[in-house]
Structures are given as structure tokens and as C-alpha cells.
Amino acid sequence: MSKEPEMKTKIENIVSSITLDRHIDLKQLAKRVKEIDNPKQFPGVIYRLEEPKLAMLIFRTGKVICSGARSRKNIDDAVEKLLKALRKAGFRIKAKPIIEIQNIVASSGLDFKVNLDLLATECVNTEYEPEQFPGLVFRLDEPKTVMLIFRSGKIIITGAKTSKDVAKAAEKTREAIKSYNAII
């Protein structure tokens, strides 16, 4: 019996948190760095980068949320650019920032269509309300992830912390669908 090929997954977004070793005066930062937006009714500022294309939400506590990255290298490059912009604006950062990946969102495709009604009735870790949303929510405990499964066979993987977990979640999802004979 031949083994199925590994599913291809594509990372769509990585959300990470970055902790700087100091508080940041956001008004001064917004005045000194042209790439910074300072929206009203928001407790932080937004630093947008074109390369890599992503956004960083900077808070006065020195906490930064980075969204839009597609790789760890994107995050590392963005942090270097942020540090350079902070130094240029007169903010001294002494310690190396702490970077933690909070959530990876990825997509993948099955090579078959899925009977979502059957999967919803047979599998206990699912939610399916087709009148509200066309996808079925499928939860895995290991790795702790949530998949959105569509009839077309497209799946969206959320909640992973590593690309290895993304691949493992995609494989386990395919295996579960097949084990419940929910293939169309």
C-alpha cells in the first residue's frame, strides 16, 4: 500500500508578540517616524512596512503585535527595521526583543470534496451551522488547532504555533475525514 503524499500547506499569516525592554512615548514616536499611524480611539500606534508587507501595533508598554508575516524571517526582518526606526527616533533599546509566535493561519487543500453534514453528525469535535457559515469548524487537541473545512476540500488551519504543527494538523484533518467516510 503506497503512502499518500504529504499535504501542501501555505502560511497566510503569522501573528507574533514582541516585547521591548522599555516603555515608548507614542506621541513622540508618531512625530518622529513617518511610517507610523496614530489612529484616534486606539491605545497604540501602527507601524506599517512595505517589505516585508506587514503591520506592527506598538503600545506604550513596549509590547508590539506583528501581523501579516508569512515566515519567521519576515518577523525577524521587521523587528530589525522597527529597532532601527526606534533608534533613529531617539529611543534606546538595550536588550534583544523577545519574540513569541502566537498564531499561524494557513491554508491547504484536500484532493476530494467533503460531506460536511456527515462529518458534523459523526464527529464530536465539530460545529456546523450552514445557514450562518458554509464551513465546518473542526477542533484538534494535538496539535491544539482549529480547522475550517469547506465542501470544496479547502481547509483553513488556525491556532498553530509552528509550521510543523500546521502540517500535522492538515494531515490529521485529512485522516479524520477519511476515517468517517466523509469523502464525496
Instruction: List pLDDT tens digits, range 115-167.
Output: 999 999 999 899 999 999 999 999 999 999 999 999 999 999 999 999 999 99
Task: Look at the domain 104-179 and name its fold.
Answer: TATA-Binding Protein (3.30.310)
- Tell me what pLDDT residue 6 has: 78
Q: What is the pLDDT of residue 37?
A: 87
Q: What is the pLDDT of residue 4?
A: 73
Of 74, 15, 17, the closest CA to residue 49 belongs to 74
- Assess whether the region 21-96 and the region 104-179 belong to the same CATH fold: yes
Best CA proximity match to 106, nearest among 7, 172, 176, 14: 14
% of the chain exceeding 70 in pLDDT: 98
Q: CA 146 to CA 156: how far, in whole Å?
A: 8
Q: What is the model's pLDDT at position 45?
A: 95
Domains of the chain by residue range: 21-96, 104-179
The pTM of the whole model exceeds 0.85:
yes
- Strand partners for 157: 106, 147
Q: How far apart are CA 89 and CA 180, in angstroms?
A: 58
The CATH classification number of 21-96 equals: 3.30.310.10
- Is residue 26 scored above 60 in pLDDT? yes
Q: How confident is the model at residue 39 (pLDDT cuts 50, 70, 90)?
A: confident
pLDDT tens-place string over residues 56-97: 999 999 999 999 999 999 999 999 999 999 999 999 999 999
- Please state, in angstroms and rounded to a whole number, the distance separating the CA atoms of residues 93 and 72: 21
